[in-house]
Amino acid sequence: MSELLSLTATSARHRLPLIFPGQVQKEFFVNEAHALMDALLHPVVLGTASFAPVNAVDGDCWIVGPEPDGDWADQTDMLACRQAGTWLFAAPCEGMRVFDRASGADLRYLAGRWTGAVPIRLPEGGEVVDREARDSIAGVVAAMATAGLLPQPG
Task: Please write the tens of the pLDDT for every residue from 128-150.
Answer: 778 888 888 888 888 887 776 77
Q: Residue 133 in 3-state DSSP?
A: helix
pLDDT value of position 2: 47
Q: How far apart are CA 110 and CA 136, in angstroms?
A: 31
pLDDT confidence band for 6 (50 / 70 / 90): very low
What confidence tens digit (pLDDT) does each residue in 47-103 have?
Answer: 999 999 999 998 899 999 999 999 999 999 999 999 888 898 988 988 889 999 998
Q: Where along the chain do its domains lie?
A: 43-114, 117-146
pLDDT at 4 over 60: no
For 75-107, letters b (16+ CB in 10 Å) and e give bebbbbbbbeeebbebebeeebebebeebebbb
pLDDT at 5 over 50: no
Mean pLDDT, residues 28-46:
76
Q: Distance of CA 61 to CAs 52, 79, 88, Å?
A: 10, 7, 9
Q: How far apart are CA 65 and CA 78, in angstroms?
A: 8
Question: Whole-model pTM?
Answer: 0.64
